Structure 1
Amino acid sequence: MLEQRIETYWDGRADSYNEVVQREMACRKKQAWESLLRKYAGEQDNLRVLDVGTGPGFFAILLSGLNYSVTAIDKCEEMLRQARKNTALAGKTIKFLKADAHAVDLPDGSLDLIVSRNVTWLLPNPLEVYQEWYRLLKPTGKVLVFDANWHLHLSDPELQAEHDRYVALAMAKGYRHNTSPAQQQENEAIARKLPLTYEKRPLWDEQAFRRCGFQQVVIEENISPLVHDEMEQLLYTPTPMFVICASK
């Protein structure tokens, strides 16, 4: 089953991914992400927020620091273990749940904001997930999606060549993968089975959000200069990170 395969893979990545998050917490990226969250979520206190695919809890901790009431979900128990540990160290109070993005056990219209980072590309059923998020939001609620066309190159030979070129340039400057060859192979094998690997985003997302009933969709197609360091900007030149803000 694909969902179980995804869960197993990311459980195995929990420790190394947590190391990435710890580095983000300790550098300018933390402030950059906080600024983006404030820009789109607003300055109100006590917003009810859901962090989907929280991983080691990076966004959940940032959102809690903005005086929001945060619930965070993930499918991977090892990720949630890291998130609970990081939250305790940060002195924050966050509710963590093991849950699927498309079936969240919360009432209709109960949330002000839903956020996700580097999650939606992994969804086997993204339209169903966006419909679920519409259900969960209050009438004035918003969704924030931060993601990229991480694996579009797998279905486009020209993009694949460009991807390989920038990986080679980054490695010549000292970049090293934080995953093993076996993990890289499994990640690509999973990606080939996922629908958003074959869609040009964020165009697909804009159309999907409107199909679900969202009234306004605002997109920034390249936030990489804001949230990536110099090496990451080089490495991800063919796949800049975007943000989508969809308002109900």
Structure 2
Amino acid sequence: MMMDINTIKQVFSEYWSVRAPSYSEDMSSMDKYDEWKSELQQRIESRYPEKKPDEIKILELGAGHGYFTAILVELGYSVTAVDMAPGMLAEAKKNYVQFASRIQFMEMNAEELSFEDGAFDVVFSRFLTWLLPRPEQAYSEWTRVLKPGGLMLTYDTMQMKQRNPDNKDTSAKKEENPYRAKLLEKTGMREELYDNLIDLSNELEIGYLKRPEWDITILTELGVDASSEDVIRLSAIESESKEDDADGNKTSIMSPLILVKGIKK
């Protein structure tokens, strides 16, 4: 199905702007700050052992409420953080006002970057690619703005959906969704906005691709030496599934998290 990119941009930007304050609050309860700080420092410093942190220019895509922006700045890196939702950027600035002078926040679509070629040493994102209507174009842009030898770190959930021509919820099913009702009440979001976001998300082609194999193939074609790694140890989001422990009790399992990493040739 041909999707209207402008409609997607508008719906996604408005949804995440309205969602920003509650999202920030929700994410603060799933903290793995120290683990992520160690993870990113190890990945970046192993790539640039001779560089001082402030000499390393990082582009964070889909910065959201600024959680990872703060980690990267605390590690001493030079950070440019972009997001297409103005509400998310406002939340990030409010959350980390102490770092305001050290971060360049910019409203920008991750698929349409305005930076010059080879502007960054590192391109980083988490939980972004699964929301992209044109992921191949996004990867092309991310590769373009990387310096030769630059490092790409893309952390994402990569669960493949099953195609179903009737996968859209009926109005009745939507109204019975407890998460929907709770979110609408908490944020004051319009029902139409939430429902449009879900419908558009279900149409995104990336949800039906075999990943991370697809990501690696695309990046390889773009001149990136790419590979993947399971990093579920960093996941702070519980899966809907449960498993039995040694005593037969149901315990939570964490949502999958995969790292696609690459070096631009």
Question: What TM-score do you get using the length of structure 2 for normalisation?
Answer: 0.75
Instruction: Show the counterpart of 1:31.
Output: 34
Residue 6 of structure 1: aligned partner: 12
**192, 201, 207: which is aligned to 1:197?**
207
Residues 77-128 of structure 1, C-alpha deviation per residue, up to 9 Å, x if partnerless? 0000001111214576210000111222222111000101111111111111
Report the structure, 1 or 2, having the larger strand content. Answer: 2
Structure with more of its chain in helix, by fraction? 1
Quick check: 1:228 aligned with 2:241? no
Q: 1:233 to 1:63 in 2, by over 3 A?
A: farther
Aligned to 2:258: 242
Report sequence identity in percent. 30
- Over aligned residue pairs, what C-alpha RMSD do you find? 2.7
Deviation at 1:155, TM superposition (A): 2.5
Question: Aligned AA for 2:221?
Answer: R
1:199 positional shift: 0.7
Q: Residues 75, 9 of structure 1: CA spacing in aligned structure 2 closer, same or farther, 3 A cutoff? A: same
Task: Measure how far apart 1:22 and its partner are.
Answer: 2.7
Paired with 2:259 and 2:227, the residues of 1 have a C-alpha distance of 8
Aligned twin of 2:3? none
In structure 2, C-alpha distance between the alignment counterparts of 1:91 and 1:103, rounded to whole Å: 24
Q: Which moves more between the two structures, 33-42 or 52-61?
A: 33-42
The amino acid of 1:7's aligned partner reads S
The answer to whether residue 148 in structure 2 is matched with residue 139 in structure 1 is yes
Structure 1 contact 224–240 (Cα < 8 Å) conserved: yes
Structure 2 CA distance for partners of 1:88 and 1:238, relative to 1, 3 Å: closer
Number of residues of Structure 1 aligned to a counterpart in Structure 2 = 224
AA paired with 1:8?
Answer: E
Any stretches of 5+ residues in structure 1 without a counterpart? 158-175
For 1:139, the aligned partner's letter is P
Q: TM-score, normalised by structure 1?
A: 0.80
Report the AA paired with residue 140 of structure 1. G
DSSP 3-state at the match of 2:29? helix
